[in-house]
């Protein structure tokens, strides 16, 4: 009798833990599945920055050698966790990277002046009308920020007094 | 007899379930110690005249031990990583259940965040809080879309995957704990000088969100209701950038509500902070030397401007603090 009860209790415990673990794992897997499909979409369409004939893709692996000597370099750690956001400043743009496993990848590209322009030909100091004429698909507008999204990538334009004052490419990943 | 057996079996089951929850929860004792800071307060004597609330800019930059040694001020830092303003409010509300300080110091950096940043940071603040109305409020206010309340009640739901990652720490601190801070101050002796900082990005909107103002109002009100002086500060961090537009809004709020506000970023030279030596992460936080300078400077302001008691002249309190100071000095060697 005692043995039967003990076996019964063990089965119940195992079942409950199993259900809990299954529920949680299932949730994670759903997220993973979504992530996978987004990655596939990202490969199909995403924004890229062209500079002097060189294409710089968000999410691509970053190689310091490939870009040459930067003008400035900084590391910004998080408050408590390991890992740092590294920022490389070049003459006309700035790249921020993140660590993905053992690979350093490009998270943002921030244009520093009017010498750099987007693939569609928009640069800092251009007018809002220029922006609207070159990016015809509707942006998301939040305050004075115009965000255009393709897959997991975005270009964010900040417009002040009808003039573009900031352009940043952003990879939308955790 | 049958009922007794059933009850005994249920008790055993519950105990195993509790034990599994305890075992699989992170202990935050030797790794990510920031997660243990909030709970250390429960084990302290509750006799503080000054309570700090806020993010890493308080627990890294202000050392209550230095403030006591310099001015006899009894202070405690109830800070945590990326502590959001609604979390600061609930932590203050919880603190007031235990004691009534004369001054509450709130670091305004979190006014820039109007939504939860990440689950990882939420966990560092919330996981080890005692269950209370405040903990429920914090969870509800802080959860990201991917989180659910039950995983805070039953950590096994969140941490079951740690089963094969358990370390010695998980067993060593299963039933015990230790203090990782000195009255909430986390010592860091490393030096990483400021060399370059990222370019200051333009923002589309510099205005603090309504939700942040609402909680700042609540912090102000709860202080007023308890006859506590609220003091606003901005720690002297160089990054993330504290924009002029932020500064103007805080100044305006402080003036309108007759609250003292100190921005220590404007006083870096006066404090004596040298960012080639006094920071452990290139300008985000001060290291031990920097925090010592900062704490001496602020302790004098508090002593000169607020009616605080010099507890070095109180034998009972002084005995407690001398013991703490001995431990502190051992730790900073």
The mean pLDDT of B99-124, rounded to a whole number, is 95
Specify the pairing of strand B103-107 against strand B50-54.
parallel
B102: contact with A, CB 8 A cutoff:
no
The mean pLDDT of A41-51, rounded to a whole number, is 74
State how far the Cα of A173 lies from the Cα of A156, in Å rounded to an integer: 15
The mean pLDDT of A136-141, rounded to a whole number, is 85
More confident residue, B30 or B88: B88
DSSP H or E run through B91:
helix B85-98
Residues 6+ apart with CB under 8 A from B306: B102, B103, B229, B231
In a domain, A17, yes or no: no
Identify the pLDDT of residue A38.
43
In a domain, A48, yes or no: yes
Give the closest of A9, A72, A166 to B196, CB-based.
Answer: A72
The mean pLDDT of B189-205, rounded to a whole number, is 93
Helix/strand/coil for B153: helix
Residues of chain B found within 8 Å of residue A20, distances taken between Cβ atoms = 154, 156-157, 160
* A105 has pLDDT over 90: yes
Asked if the Cβ–Cβ distance from A80 to B203 is below 8 Å, we say no
Domain extents in chain B: 32-149+178-332
Give the closest of A13, A21, A112 to B160, CB-based.
Answer: A21
What topology is assigned to B32-149+178-332 in CATH?
Rossmann fold (3.40.50)
pLDDT in tens, B83-109: 999 999 999 999 999 999 999 999 999
In a domain, A154, yes or no: yes
CB-CB neighbours of A66 under 10 Å = 9
The mean pLDDT of A146-162, rounded to a whole number, is 94
Residues of chain A found within 8 Å of residue B204, distances taken between Cβ atoms = 142-145, 156, 158
In a domain, A31, yes or no: no
In a domain, A89, yes or no: yes
Residues of chain B found within 8 Å of residue A9, distances taken between Cβ atoms = 9, 12-13
Instruction: From A159, A151, A158, select the one nearest A59 (Cα to Cα).
Output: A151
Identify the pLDDT of residue A44.
52
Phi, psi of B51 (to 5 degrees): -120, 125
State how far the Cα of B139 lies from the Cα of B120, in Å rounded to an integer: 13
* A54 has pLDDT over 70: yes
Q: What is the CA radius of gyration of chain A?
A: 23
Residues of chain A found within 8 Å of residue B199, distances taken between Cβ atoms = 87, 89, 94, 110, 112
* B254 has pLDDT over 70: yes
State the smallest CA–CA distance between residue B231 and chain A in angstroms: 24
In terms of residue numbers, what domain contains A140? 37-171
B201: contact with A, CB 8 A cutoff:
yes
* B125: closest chain A residue by CA: A80
Identify the pLDDT of residue A83.
73
State how far the Cα of A155 lies from the Cα of B152, in Å rounded to an integer: 37
Least confident of A41-45, B91-95, B133-137: A41-45
Residues of chain A found within 8 Å of residue B238, distances taken between Cβ atoms = none
Average pLDDT value for chain B: 95
Sign of CA dihedral B283, B289, B293, B294: positive
In a domain, A15, yes or no: no
Asked if the Cβ–Cβ distance from A5 to B5 is below 8 Å, we say yes
Return the number of CB contacts < 8 Å for A and B: 87
Identify the pLDDT of residue A35.
39
Least confident of A21-30, B45-54, B80-89, B302-311: A21-30
Identify the pLDDT of residue B29.
93
Identify the pLDDT of residue A37.
43
Identify the pLDDT of residue A25.
52
Instruction: Tally the domains of chain A.
Output: 1
Asked if the Cβ–Cβ distance from B32 to A13 is below 8 Å, we say no
Spell out the alpha helix ranges (H) of B143-283: 150-153, 156-159, 168-172, 210-225, 244-256, 268-271
Phi, psi of A48 (to 5 degrees): -135, 155
Residue A113 sits in a domain whose CATH number is: 2.60.460
**Band of pLDDT at residue A3, cut at 50, 70 and 90:** low
State how far the Cα of A114 lies from the Cα of A112, in Å rounded to an integer: 7
Identify the pLDDT of residue B193.
94
Identify the pLDDT of residue B31.
86
Inter-CA distances, B287 with A83, B59, B207, B283, Å: 19, 11, 31, 10
CB B320 within 8 A of CB B45: yes
* A93: closest chain B residue by CA: B199
CB-count exposure of residue B37 (10 Å: 0-12, 13-18, 19+): buried
* A34 has pLDDT over 70: no
The mean pLDDT of B271-278, rounded to a whole number, is 97
* B240: closest chain A residue by CA: A76
Helix, strand, coil percent values for chain A (each to nearest 5) = 30, 40, 30
């Amino acid at each position: 009798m005692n043995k039967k009860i003990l076996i019964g209790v063990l089965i119940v415990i195992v079942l409950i833990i199993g259900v809990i673990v299954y529920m949680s794992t299932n949730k994670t897997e759903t997220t993973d599945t979504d992530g996978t499909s987004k990655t596939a979409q990202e490969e199909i369409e995403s924004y890229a920055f062209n500079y002097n004939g060189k294409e710089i893709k968000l999410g691509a692996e970053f190689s310091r050698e490939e870009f040459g000597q930067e003008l400035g370099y900084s590391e910004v750690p998080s408050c408590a966790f390991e890992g740092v956001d590294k920022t490389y400043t070049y003459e006309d743009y700035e790249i921020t990277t993140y660590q993905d496993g053992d690979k350093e990848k490009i998270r943002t590209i921030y244009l520093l002046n009017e010498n750099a322009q987007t693939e569609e030909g928009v640069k800092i100091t251009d007018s809002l009308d220029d922006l609207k004429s070159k990016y015809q698909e509707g942006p998301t507008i939040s305050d004075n920020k115009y965000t255009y999204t393709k897959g997991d990538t975005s270009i964010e334009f900040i417009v002040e007094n009808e003039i573009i004052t900031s352009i940043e490419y952003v990879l939308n990943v955790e | 007899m049958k009922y007794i057996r059933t009850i005994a079996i249920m008790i055993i089951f519950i105990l195993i379930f509790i034990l599994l929850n305890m075992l699989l929860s992170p202990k935050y004792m030797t790794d990510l110690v920031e997660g243990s800071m909030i709970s250390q307060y429960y084990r302290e004597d509750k006799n503080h005249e000054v309570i700090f609330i806020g993010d890493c800019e308080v627990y890294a930059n202000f050392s209550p031990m230095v403030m006591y040694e310099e001015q006899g001020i009894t202070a405690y830092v109830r800070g945590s990583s990326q502590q959001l303003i609604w979390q600061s409010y609930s932590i203050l509300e919880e603190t007031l259940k235990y004691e009534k300080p004369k001054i509450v110091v709130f670091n305004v950096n979190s006014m820039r965040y109007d939504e939860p940043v990440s689950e990882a940071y939420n966990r560092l603040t919330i996981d080890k809080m005692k269950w209370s109305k405040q903990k429920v409020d914090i969870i509800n206010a802080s959860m990201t879309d991917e989180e659910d309340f039950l995983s805070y009640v039953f950590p096994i739901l969140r941490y079951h995957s740690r089963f094969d990652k358990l370390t010695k720490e998980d067993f060593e601190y299963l039933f015990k704990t230790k203090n990782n801070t000195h009255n909430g101050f986390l010592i860091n002796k490393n030096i990483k000088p400021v060399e370059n900082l990222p370019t200051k990005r333009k923002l589309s909107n510099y205005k603090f969100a309504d939700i942040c103002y609402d909680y700042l109002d609540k912090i102000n009100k709860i202080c007023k209701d308890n006859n506590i002086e609220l003091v606003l500060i901005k720690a002297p961090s160089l990054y993330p950038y504290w924009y002029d537009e932020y500064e103007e809004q805080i100044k305006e709020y402080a003036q309108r509500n007759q609250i003292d506000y100190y921005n220590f970023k404007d006083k870096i030279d006066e404090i004596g902070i040298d960012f080639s030596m006094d920071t452990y992460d290139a300008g985000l936080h001060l290291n031990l030397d920097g925090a010592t300078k900062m704490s001496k400077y602020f302790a004098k302001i508090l002593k000169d401007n607020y009616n605080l008691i010099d507890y070095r002249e109180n034998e009972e309190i002084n005995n407690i603090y001398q013991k703490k100071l001995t431990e502190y000095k051992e730790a900073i060697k």
